[in-house]
Protein backbone atom coordinates (compact mmCIF):
# COMPACT_ATOMS: atom_id res chain seq x y z
CA UNK A 1 0.00 0.00 0.00
CA UNK A 2 1.71 3.15 -1.22
CA UNK A 3 -1.20 5.47 -0.79
CA UNK A 4 -3.15 6.13 2.34
CA UNK A 5 -5.90 7.73 0.34
CA UNK A 6 -6.89 7.65 -3.30
CA UNK A 7 -9.78 9.65 -4.74
CA UNK A 8 -10.93 9.03 -8.30
CA UNK A 9 -13.23 11.54 -9.98
CA UNK A 10 -15.20 12.05 -6.81
CA UNK A 11 -18.29 14.22 -7.17
CA UNK A 12 -20.74 15.28 -4.48
CA UNK A 13 -23.86 17.31 -5.08
CA UNK A 14 -26.30 18.83 -2.63
CA UNK A 15 -29.43 19.40 -4.64
CA UNK A 16 -28.41 21.62 -7.56
CA UNK A 17 -25.20 22.70 -5.83
CA UNK A 18 -22.03 20.80 -6.69
CA UNK A 19 -19.77 20.81 -3.65
CA UNK A 20 -17.00 18.64 -5.10
CA UNK A 21 -16.59 18.16 -8.82
CA UNK A 22 -14.57 15.29 -10.29
CA UNK A 23 -11.81 15.37 -7.69
CA UNK A 24 -8.91 12.98 -8.08
CA UNK A 25 -6.14 12.82 -5.52
CA UNK A 26 -3.46 10.52 -4.17
CA UNK A 27 -2.05 10.83 -0.68
CA UNK A 28 1.14 8.80 -0.16
CA UNK A 29 1.61 6.93 3.11
CA UNK A 30 3.61 8.71 5.79
CA UNK A 31 3.38 12.23 4.43
CA UNK A 32 1.81 15.43 5.68
CA UNK A 33 -0.69 16.62 3.14
CA UNK A 34 -2.24 20.08 3.15
CA UNK A 35 -5.72 20.79 1.83
CA UNK A 36 -6.04 24.41 0.73
CA UNK A 37 -8.96 26.38 -0.56
CA UNK A 38 -11.23 29.25 0.22
CA UNK A 39 -14.12 28.91 2.61
CA UNK A 40 -16.82 26.87 0.94
CA UNK A 41 -14.46 25.52 -1.72
CA UNK A 42 -15.27 21.89 -0.88
CA UNK A 43 -12.49 20.87 1.53
CA UNK A 44 -14.76 19.83 4.38
CA UNK A 45 -17.12 17.98 2.06
CA UNK A 46 -14.15 16.09 0.65
CA UNK A 47 -12.98 15.21 4.14
CA UNK A 48 -16.44 14.10 5.17
CA UNK A 49 -16.62 11.82 2.16
CA UNK A 50 -13.27 10.33 3.10
CA UNK A 51 -14.66 9.72 6.60
CA UNK A 52 -17.76 8.18 4.96
CA UNK A 53 -20.00 10.67 6.72
CA UNK A 54 -21.17 11.62 3.23
CA UNK A 55 -21.28 9.29 0.28
CA UNK A 56 -20.03 10.55 -3.09
CA UNK A 57 -22.52 10.73 -5.94
CA UNK A 58 -19.88 9.61 -8.40
CA UNK A 59 -16.29 8.37 -8.32
CA UNK A 60 -14.52 6.16 -5.84
CA UNK A 61 -12.58 6.60 -2.65
CA UNK A 62 -10.01 4.17 -1.36
CA UNK A 63 -8.91 4.62 2.23
CA UNK A 64 -5.93 2.63 3.51
CA UNK A 65 -6.42 0.30 0.59
CA UNK A 66 -10.10 -0.32 1.28
CA UNK A 67 -12.83 0.84 -1.05
CA UNK A 68 -15.15 1.54 1.86
CA UNK A 69 -13.97 3.76 4.69
CA UNK A 70 -16.51 2.12 7.02
CA UNK A 71 -14.29 -0.95 7.12
CA UNK A 72 -11.28 0.99 8.36
CA UNK A 73 -13.06 3.58 10.47
CA UNK A 74 -11.19 2.48 13.55
CA UNK A 75 -7.85 3.12 11.85
CA UNK A 76 -8.76 6.71 11.02
CA UNK A 77 -8.67 9.76 13.22
CA UNK A 78 -10.74 12.83 12.47
CA UNK A 79 -10.80 16.28 14.01
CA UNK A 80 -13.70 18.23 12.53
CA UNK A 81 -13.58 21.90 11.80
CA UNK A 82 -16.17 22.73 14.42
CA UNK A 83 -14.79 21.49 17.69
CA UNK A 84 -17.00 20.51 20.57
CA UNK A 85 -16.80 18.45 23.72
CA UNK A 86 -19.34 17.15 26.20
CA UNK A 87 -19.26 19.94 28.74
CA UNK A 88 -20.14 17.78 31.69
CA UNK A 89 -17.61 15.04 31.02
CA UNK A 90 -14.21 14.96 32.57
CA UNK A 91 -11.22 15.48 30.33
CA UNK A 92 -9.72 12.02 30.72
CA UNK A 93 -13.14 10.41 30.38
CA UNK A 94 -13.95 12.04 27.10
CA UNK A 95 -10.57 11.23 25.54
CA UNK A 96 -11.01 7.63 26.67
CA UNK A 97 -14.55 7.60 25.33
CA UNK A 98 -13.36 8.62 21.87
CA UNK A 99 -10.79 5.83 22.11
CA UNK A 100 -13.42 3.27 23.06
CA UNK A 101 -15.60 4.37 20.18
CA UNK A 102 -12.66 3.46 17.98
CA UNK A 103 -12.60 -0.03 19.42
CA UNK A 104 -10.13 0.30 22.30
CA UNK A 105 -11.03 -1.58 25.44
CA UNK A 106 -11.97 0.42 28.51
CA UNK A 107 -8.88 0.14 30.68
CA UNK A 108 -6.41 0.61 27.82
CA UNK A 109 -8.31 3.69 26.70
CA UNK A 110 -8.37 5.13 30.22
CA UNK A 111 -4.70 4.52 30.70
CA UNK A 112 -3.76 5.94 27.33
CA UNK A 113 -5.97 9.00 27.78
CA UNK A 114 -4.32 9.94 31.05
CA UNK A 115 -0.87 9.35 29.63
CA UNK A 116 -1.52 11.50 26.54
CA UNK A 117 -3.08 14.35 28.51
CA UNK A 118 -0.17 14.37 30.93
CA UNK A 119 2.36 14.26 28.12
CA UNK A 120 0.79 17.26 26.40
CA UNK A 121 0.63 19.41 29.52
CA UNK A 122 -2.90 18.75 30.72
CA UNK A 123 -1.98 16.58 33.71
CA UNK A 124 -3.77 18.94 36.08
CA UNK A 125 -6.99 18.68 34.12
CA UNK A 126 -7.45 14.92 34.02
CA UNK A 127 -10.45 14.90 36.35
CA UNK A 128 -11.83 18.33 35.62
CA UNK A 129 -14.87 18.97 33.52
CA UNK A 130 -14.47 20.10 29.95
CA UNK A 131 -16.65 23.16 30.42
CA UNK A 132 -13.97 24.72 32.65
CA UNK A 133 -11.30 24.65 29.94
CA UNK A 134 -10.19 27.40 27.60
CA UNK A 135 -10.70 27.02 23.89
CA UNK A 136 -7.09 26.13 23.23
CA UNK A 137 -7.08 23.45 25.91
CA UNK A 138 -10.38 22.06 24.64
CA UNK A 139 -8.93 21.82 21.17
CA UNK A 140 -5.89 20.00 22.51
CA UNK A 141 -8.15 17.54 24.32
CA UNK A 142 -10.02 16.95 21.14
CA UNK A 143 -6.92 16.32 19.10
CA UNK A 144 -5.78 13.83 21.69
CA UNK A 145 -9.17 12.17 21.39
CA UNK A 146 -8.56 11.99 17.67
CA UNK A 147 -5.23 10.20 17.93
CA UNK A 148 -5.62 8.11 21.09
CA UNK A 149 -6.23 4.93 19.11
CA UNK A 150 -3.04 5.50 17.08
CA UNK A 151 -4.73 5.88 13.72
CA UNK A 152 -2.83 5.25 10.52
CA UNK A 153 -4.48 8.17 8.79
CA UNK A 154 -5.31 11.36 10.67
CA UNK A 155 -7.43 14.06 9.13
CA UNK A 156 -7.47 17.42 10.86
CA UNK A 157 -9.86 20.08 9.63
CA UNK A 158 -8.43 23.51 10.49
CA UNK A 159 -6.36 22.33 13.44
CA UNK A 160 -4.66 25.71 13.91
CA UNK A 161 -7.65 28.00 13.89
CA UNK A 162 -8.19 29.93 17.09
CA UNK A 163 -4.95 28.83 18.76
CA UNK A 164 -2.36 31.10 20.33
CA UNK A 165 1.27 30.81 19.18
CA UNK A 166 2.26 28.46 21.99
CA UNK A 167 -0.61 26.11 21.28
CA UNK A 168 0.06 26.37 17.57
CA UNK A 169 3.56 25.10 18.26
CA UNK A 170 2.17 22.25 20.34
CA UNK A 171 -0.18 21.37 17.50
CA UNK A 172 2.70 21.52 15.01
CA UNK A 173 4.79 19.22 17.21
CA UNK A 174 1.91 16.82 17.45
CA UNK A 175 1.58 16.65 13.69
CA UNK A 176 5.32 16.19 13.25
CA UNK A 177 5.33 13.47 15.94
CA UNK A 178 2.70 11.59 14.01
CA UNK A 179 4.68 11.84 10.82
CA UNK A 180 7.75 10.52 12.62
CA UNK A 181 5.69 7.57 13.80
CA UNK A 182 4.90 6.80 10.18
CA UNK A 183 1.32 7.98 10.16
CA UNK A 184 -0.25 9.92 7.36
CA UNK A 185 -1.61 13.35 8.28
CA UNK A 186 -3.99 15.37 6.18
CA UNK A 187 -4.94 18.81 7.38
CA UNK A 188 -6.82 21.68 5.91
CA UNK A 189 -5.79 25.21 6.71
CA UNK A 190 -6.10 28.83 5.75
CA UNK A 191 -2.70 29.58 7.21
CA UNK A 192 -0.34 29.36 4.25
CA UNK A 193 2.75 29.57 6.45
CA UNK A 194 1.69 26.37 8.23
CA UNK A 195 1.17 24.59 4.95
CA UNK A 196 4.47 25.81 3.66
CA UNK A 197 6.41 24.84 6.78
CA UNK A 198 4.78 21.46 7.46
CA UNK A 199 3.45 19.91 4.30
CA UNK A 200 5.17 17.49 2.00
CA UNK A 201 2.27 17.81 -0.38
CA UNK A 202 -0.48 20.34 -0.86
CA UNK A 203 -3.57 20.49 -2.98
CA UNK A 204 -6.01 23.26 -3.60
CA UNK A 205 -9.70 23.20 -4.44
CA UNK A 206 -11.52 26.20 -5.76
CA UNK A 207 -15.24 26.18 -6.35
CA UNK A 208 -15.46 22.39 -6.14
CA UNK A 209 -12.63 21.80 -8.63
CA UNK A 210 -9.06 20.71 -8.00
CA UNK A 211 -6.65 23.48 -9.03
CA UNK A 212 -3.34 21.88 -8.22
CA UNK A 213 -1.83 19.05 -6.22
CA UNK A 214 1.69 17.91 -5.55
CA UNK A 215 4.81 18.65 -3.56
CA UNK A 216 5.47 22.27 -2.70
CA UNK A 217 8.21 22.40 -5.33
CA UNK A 218 5.90 20.97 -7.96
CA UNK A 219 3.21 23.43 -7.09
CA UNK A 220 5.51 26.39 -7.31
CA UNK A 221 7.23 25.18 -10.46
CA UNK A 222 6.56 27.26 -13.51
CA UNK A 223 5.32 30.17 -11.47
CA UNK A 224 6.99 33.56 -11.85
CA UNK A 225 9.76 34.31 -9.41
CA UNK A 226 9.11 37.27 -7.20
CA UNK A 227 10.85 39.79 -4.99
CA UNK A 228 10.54 39.27 -1.26
CA UNK A 229 11.30 42.65 0.25
CA UNK A 230 11.67 43.68 3.91
CA UNK A 231 11.80 47.45 4.13
CA UNK A 232 11.20 50.57 6.20
CA UNK A 233 9.70 53.72 4.75
CA UNK A 234 6.70 54.86 2.75
CA UNK A 235 5.26 51.79 1.08
CA UNK A 236 3.07 53.72 -1.34
CA UNK A 237 6.05 54.29 -3.61
CA UNK A 238 6.28 50.54 -4.23
CA UNK A 239 3.20 50.71 -6.40
CA UNK A 240 5.11 53.02 -8.80
CA UNK A 241 8.03 50.59 -9.33
CA UNK A 242 8.71 50.48 -13.07
CA UNK A 243 7.85 47.07 -14.55
CA UNK A 244 5.92 45.89 -11.47
CA UNK A 245 3.05 43.55 -12.29
CA UNK A 246 1.63 43.05 -8.82
CA UNK A 247 2.63 44.40 -5.45
CA UNK A 248 1.44 42.81 -2.17
CA UNK A 249 2.43 45.40 0.39
CA UNK A 250 2.18 44.41 4.04
CA UNK A 251 3.72 47.62 5.43
CA UNK A 252 7.09 46.17 6.48
CA UNK A 253 7.23 43.40 3.98
CA UNK A 254 6.21 43.27 0.36
CA UNK A 255 5.98 40.73 -2.42
CA UNK A 256 6.58 42.20 -5.84
CA UNK A 257 6.06 40.39 -9.14
CA UNK A 258 7.65 41.88 -12.23
CA UNK A 259 6.52 41.90 -15.81
CA UNK A 260 8.41 39.35 -17.95
CA UNK A 261 11.71 40.77 -19.10
CA UNK A 262 12.12 43.23 -16.27
CA UNK A 263 15.49 43.04 -14.52
CA UNK A 264 15.27 42.50 -10.79
CA UNK A 265 18.65 44.23 -10.30
CA UNK A 266 17.20 47.40 -11.74
CA UNK A 267 14.20 47.10 -9.47
CA UNK A 268 16.53 46.74 -6.48
CA UNK A 269 18.46 49.87 -7.45
CA UNK A 270 15.18 51.78 -7.84
CA UNK A 271 13.95 50.57 -4.47
CA UNK A 272 17.15 51.35 -2.56
CA UNK A 273 16.82 54.98 -3.57
CA UNK A 274 13.31 55.27 -2.15
CA UNK A 275 13.02 53.01 0.90
CA UNK A 276 15.39 51.44 3.43
CA UNK A 277 15.86 47.89 2.22
CA UNK A 278 16.57 45.41 4.98
CA UNK A 279 16.27 42.23 2.94
CA UNK A 280 15.93 41.57 -0.76
CA UNK A 281 15.21 38.08 -2.11
CA UNK A 282 14.49 37.13 -5.67
CA UNK A 283 12.99 33.67 -5.43
CA UNK A 284 10.07 31.31 -6.04
CA UNK A 285 6.66 32.71 -5.05
CA UNK A 286 5.19 32.06 -1.60
CA UNK A 287 2.35 29.62 -1.24
CA UNK A 288 0.22 32.59 -0.30
CA UNK A 289 0.96 34.15 -3.70
CA UNK A 290 0.30 30.88 -5.48
CA UNK A 291 -3.02 30.58 -3.68
CA UNK A 292 -4.16 34.11 -4.47
CA UNK A 293 -3.03 33.88 -8.09
CA UNK A 294 -4.77 30.54 -8.51
CA UNK A 295 -8.04 31.96 -7.20
CA UNK A 296 -7.74 34.95 -9.55
CA UNK A 297 -6.90 32.81 -12.55
CA UNK A 298 -9.68 30.36 -11.81
CA UNK A 299 -12.19 33.17 -11.44
CA UNK A 300 -11.04 34.73 -14.70
CA UNK A 301 -11.45 31.40 -16.45
CA UNK A 302 -14.88 30.92 -15.00
CA UNK A 303 -15.86 34.42 -16.01
CA UNK A 304 -14.52 33.83 -19.52
CA UNK A 305 -16.40 30.55 -19.74
CA UNK A 306 -19.50 32.33 -18.55
CA UNK A 307 -19.09 35.02 -21.24
CA UNK A 308 -18.31 32.55 -23.97
CA UNK A 309 -21.50 30.65 -23.30
Partner 1 sequence: MASKTYLVAEREFLDNVRTKTFWLGILSFPLIIVLAIGVGWVMQSTKKLQQYAVLDFTPSRIGARIEPEARQRDLQRALEELLPKPAPAGAAGPGTAEPEAPTPPPAEPTLAQITANLDEVAKRLDAGNPLRDLITRLQKEPELLQQAARAAQSGKLHELPPALLATVTDWATSMSPEQQRNLRAFVSARRYHHVSLEELGVAGLQPAEQRRKLNEMVNSGRLFAYFVFDNDPLRFDETAGPADPRRPADFVYVSNSLTDEDLRDWYAGAATQVLRKLRIAKADIPPQRAAWIQAAVAFQEVQVDTTGETKAVDKTDKGNKLAPVAFVYLLWIAVFTAAQMLLTNTVEEKSNRIIEVLLSSVSPGELMAGKIWGIGATGLTIVGSWVVFGVLGVWVAPKLVPKFGEYNLLAIVGDPLYLASFVGYFLTGYLLFAAILVAIGSVCNSLKEAQNLLQPVFLLLMIPLLAMVPVVQEPNGLMARVFTYIPLYTPFAMMNRASGPPPAWEYALTTVIILGSVWFAFRAAGKVFRIGVLMTGNPPKLKEILGWLKEK
Q: Choose the binding region for partner 1 from 21-29, 95-103, 223-231, 273-281 (rule: CB under 8 A).
A: 95-103
Nearer to partner 1, 96 or 204 (CB): 96
Q: How far is the CB of 182 from partner 1 (least distance, A)?
A: 21
Q: Which of 33, 35, 97, 201 binds partner 1 (CB under 8 A)?
A: 97
Rule CB under 8 A: say whether 250 interacts with partner 1.
no
Rule CB under 8 A: say whether 298 interacts with partner 1.
no
Q: How far is the CB of 161 from partner 1 (least distance, A)?
A: 13
Q: Choose the binding region for partner 1 from 18-26, 70-78, 233-241, 267-275 (rule: CB under 8 A).
A: 70-78
d(CA 75, CA 58): 24
Rule CB under 8 A: say whether 70 interacts with partner 1.
yes
d(CA 283, CA 297): 21
Q: Choose the binding region for partner 1 from 31-39, 74-82, 194-202, 268-276 (rule: CB under 8 A).
A: 74-82
Interface mask toward partner 1 for 123-162; x: CB under 8 A:
-------------------x--xx----------------
Q: How far is the CB of 21 from partner 1 (least distance, A)?
A: 20
Q: Choose the binding region for partner 1 from 73-81, 168-176, 177-185, 209-217 (rule: CB under 8 A).
A: 73-81
Q: How far is the CB of 48 from partner 1 (least distance, A)?
A: 8
Q: How far is the CB of 103 from partner 1 (least distance, A)?
A: 8
**Which residues would be at the binding site for partner 1 (CB under 8 A)?**
48, 51, 53-54, 70, 73-74, 76-80, 82-89, 97-98, 100-102, 142, 145-146
Amino acid sequence: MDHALILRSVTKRFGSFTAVDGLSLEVPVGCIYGFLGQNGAGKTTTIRMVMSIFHPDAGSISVLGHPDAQEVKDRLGYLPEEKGLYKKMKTAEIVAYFGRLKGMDGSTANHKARELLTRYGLGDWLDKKCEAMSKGMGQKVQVLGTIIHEPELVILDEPFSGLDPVNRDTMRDLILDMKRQGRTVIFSTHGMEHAEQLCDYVMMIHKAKLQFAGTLAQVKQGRDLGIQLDYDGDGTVLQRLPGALRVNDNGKHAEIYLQPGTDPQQALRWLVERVTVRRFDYREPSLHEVFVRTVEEANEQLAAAGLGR
